Structure 1
Amino acid sequence: MATGDYDHLQQAARDHLWMHFTRHSSFEDHDVPIIVRGEGAYIYDAKGRRYLDALAGLFVSQLGHGRTELAEAAAKQAKELAFMPLWSYAHPSAIQLAERVAQKAPGDLNRVFFSSGGGESVETAWKLAKNYYKLTGKPMKHKVISRSIAYHGTTQGALSITGLPGLKAVFEPLVPSTFRVPNTNFYRAPQHGDDLEAFGRWAADQIAVAIEDEGPETVAAVFLEPVQNAGGCFPPPPGYFQRVREICDTYDVLLVSDEVICAFGRLGHYFGAERYDYQPDMITCAKGITSGYAPLGAMIASDRLMEPFLKGHASFAHGYTFGGHPVSTAVAMANLDIFENEKVFEHVLANQDAFRTTLERLKDLPIVGDVRGDGYFYGIELVKDKATKETFEGDEAEKLLRGYLSKALYDEGLYCRADDRGDPVVQLAPPLICDQTHFDEIEQILRTVLDKAWSML
């Protein structure tokens, strides 16, 4: 890119572009990173530098970058039908994708409601839960239970369900009637820290306690990710989801599996519920359904939840202009074709242990306290003292993560996330096409940067 063009983009970005979750003050004396193209597992900036995309954009780019088949599917659909809403009308690619997703979803999750993205899918699930119980004679069931530190989206309802007080404070008051229970962070287990299965049982049982505390007649749903993202990738202990399912059945509470990140291969299956063998009443998803080549989300519901809306004058008075967009659903169909034709999920399952083993090499560093996750979805927790698990807090965390790690990792050619929603972590979720060569590159860059970070403390 010519110097003049680059300088113009930098100034225009500073003057006009309001970036998401961004401290704009950080660009007073630093350039805005401008990514101009991608190829496979790599992205390239405006100066021609290459970076390994170890976060798949934002847990999105399952197939990596530059897949012409997906671009061609979008162009073909745009030529035929560029737009049509799903408001009392349908179009072929939405119908075909709904059928295909329903066939892959577990159990009787046969009804697919399309949205534009993950937060909208979560919003849809909560609204459906409340609407369903009102139609079935239980109008007081409206409350939601979710987990501490869990992130579920930025819309008013999804943010209310989110368990991160710092993200919510500036937008309060939010939607009332949401309550938190412990997550499954075994590394910092407050109970049963020496017994993973017992810890999982305890954590699940706290959902029953919360339902009893609020009154079963008022609780509509429990929202849980298969592997919790915020906090740094907390997998479920053995038996955890089976116990949650029992609790939800006992109290007639809907189990919503929030799979905005975990669905479509991130854990080696179409859905995380399949990997961990539990049956949700709804699944929320987005991101990997199109591998990021077009925006799309979905809420997948059981036949039972659809049944009241098939009678008389009832309708679910909810929708989005771009939900189920023809171009997006056509891209999703092509994306699923590639998943199957190239055996992408089988590749994840065949390589997931190697990914874990490669990241676990970093445990010899004094700053690495825990490596956790599943499939192609991992968090590395950073600590001041491995023996006591003392964490970085306040100014120390700020200096470590935003003062050093974020820029240093990027400068070394690794795009990932250094985050402190919960304790400080580095998060990794590379494209599903990655192999041992990419794992080694990730480990080597992390080793170099984390070693330097420790020496600076």
Structure 2
Amino acid sequence: MTLTEHGPTSTGSASAGWGNLWPHFTRLSADRTPVITRGEGAYIWDDRGRRVLDGLSGLFVVQAGHGRRELASVMAAQAAELAYFPVWGYATPPVIELAERLAAAAPGDLNRVFFTTGGGEAVESAWKVAKQYFKLTGRPLKHKVISRAIAYHGTPQGALAITGLPAMKQQFEPLTPGGFRVPNTNIYRATEHADDPVAFGRWAADRIEEAILFEGPDTVAAVVLEPVQNSGGCFTPPPGYFQRVREICDKHDVLLVSDEVICAFGRHGSTFACAKFGYQPDIVTCAKGMSSGYAPIGAMITTDRVVEPFLRDKTVFPHGYTFGGHPVAAAVALANLDIFDSERLNENVLANESAFGTTMRRLLDLPVVGDVRGDGYFWAVELVKDKNTKQTLTAEERETLIRGYLPKALFDNGLYCRPDDRGDPVVQVAPPLICGQAEFDEIERILRHTLTEASTLL
């Protein structure tokens, strides 16, 4: 959830037009949310002139930072040349070039790129292609998807069925049938092998095989996992976890989908996070950082094996989006990837991730902080009532802190980040990839001050 998802974050009269806007994931009873007017580098400004550190890259999106005029210039030039044409039986030069570039950067034989306008659409596309793949290869009963508890994979009906957050789904049920859940990799809350990451990873991966066997291997089409799980607060993979998952998927002829909507494009210091964590998926879904948010674009990328039956005569994947592969979005994505290369953003993350983690872990001396975890430029601070027992907050306390106090206080103190309690209560930070120690220190300082004040409310 974004900062505004938890209700009012500032006071004052509503801006003109606020009564007509329906914000996403937001209580409409809120009087006013911050109005963000501009951005530059790692900072944003609101309509009251306040400068705030963007500690969430917008929504895990603005990898190259705000205000990149060179990206705006590329967009304007492409719009003047060709503002729009669909990829429904046609192509445009920037779309062709971007597909080639993504395929070259992806590990193994992930060579075929299907463009969408965002991450949820990419996940939706992955499930649909998995279903049709098994129909085309003579196994029509394989349609179910295994995903992890608390994991978020998008809001379309299929992606929502894959999502492991019951509270996000109950207003829209019944959903697309076929989504099933297994445990995630939150070792901080583990009841099995909590002191042995390798054994814990094996245990968590084996629950996937257990679910496949329970449902029947002839009915399971895919396993959908994030390299680092977002919801619940940055659950990193234990050693050997994804290697074991790959073995399980191969054994039971199940497609492994790496949902990298957040994790791709430098968030963990590599173009695709699966490469960093050492596993080869059959399908990758990605979006967000592909264009650093300068235009909406996402993609599903498949291996040669997955696309092969679709290459047969008269076969069609009857699926698409009007704005998928938009030429302006593709052009700015290419320019964004040029910045990744010229400014060595992946290398910057790898060089600084240890320092970022060390800086964030300073917060462990606060009584309200139970755990600090993450990887790359993607970290979470879990809040507790008792560090010794790991006692979590009550529903009333979550309402007070996560939805009431923290969003406004953090923003007023100069930091935009993400208080969230879709799992246990956490505060997440994921700054632009241009950041370094100065920004890390600022994030830690504001979090320390705000969480110290917040602890008095418990």
TM-score range relative to shorter protein: over 0.9
CA distance in 1, matches of 2:298, 2:304: 19
CA distance in 2, matches of 1:341, 1:12: 41
Per-residue CA deviations over 1:17-45 (Å, capped at 9, x if unaligned) read 00000012122xxx321000000000000
Per-residue CA deviations over 1:357-401 (Å, capped at 9, x if unaligned) read 000000000000000010000110000000000000211111111
Q: Does 1:250 align with 2:255?
A: no
Q: Which amino acid aligns with 2:358?
A: T
1:142-291 alignment, distance < 5 Å:
142-291=143-292
Q: Show the counterpart of 2:111.
A: 110
Q: Show the counterpart of 2:15.
A: 10
Q: Could you tell me how far 1:77 is from its partner in structure 2? A: 0.5
CA distance in 2, matches of 1:444, 1:32: 24
**Equivalent pair of 1:119/1:158 in contact (CA under 8 Å):** yes
Q: Could you tell me how far 1:171 is from its partner in structure 2? A: 0.6
Q: Show the counterpart of 1:297.
A: 298
Q: Show the counterpart of 1:354.
A: 355
Q: Show the counterpart of 2:60.
A: 59
Q: Which amino acid aligns with 1:366?
A: P
Scaled by the length of structure 1, the TM-score of the pair is 0.97
CA distance in 2, matches of 1:80, 1:336: 21
CA distance in 2, matches of 1:26, 1:353: 39
* Root mean square deviation, CA, Å: 1.1
**Equivalent pair of 1:70/1:293 in contact (CA under 8 Å):** yes
CA distance in 2, matches of 1:280, 1:425: 29
Per-residue CA deviations over 1:168-220 (Å, capped at 9, x if unaligned) read 00110001111000000000012111111100000000000000000000000
1:429-444 alignment, distance < 5 Å:
429-444=430-445
**Equivalent pair of 1:145/1:179 in contact (CA under 8 Å):** yes
CA distance in 1, matches of 2:132, 2:105: 26
Q: Could you tell me how far 1:9 is from its partner in structure 2? A: 6.6
Q: Which amino acid aligns with 1:361?
A: R
CA distance in 1, matches of 2:409, 2:127: 40
Q: Does 1:364 align with 2:394?
A: no
2:138 match: secondary structure: coil
CA distance in 1, matches of 2:30, 2:421: 18
Per-residue CA deviations over 1:277-331 (Å, capped at 9, x if unaligned) read 1000000000000000000000000011111111111010000000000000000
Equivalent of 2:30 in 10, 20, 26? 26
Per-residue CA deviations over 1:337-368 (Å, capped at 9, x if unaligned) read 00001111101100101100000000000000
Q: Which amino acid aligns with 1:18?
A: W
Q: Does 1:315 align with 2:345?
A: no
Gaps of 5+ in 1: 1-6
Q: Could you tell me how far 1:8 is from its partner in structure 2? A: 9.0
1:456 match: secondary structure: coil
Scaled by the length of structure 2, the TM-score of the pair is 0.97
1:331 match: secondary structure: helix
1:392 match: secondary structure: coil
Q: Show the counterpart of 1:378.
A: 379
1:101 match: secondary structure: helix
Q: Which amino acid aligns with 1:188?
A: R
1:19 match: secondary structure: coil
Question: Structure 1 residue runs of 4+, over 2 Å off?
Answer: none
Q: Show the counterpart of 1:41.
A: 42
CA distance in 2, matches of 1:56, 1:105: 23
**Equivalent pair of 1:60/1:288 in contact (CA under 8 Å):** yes
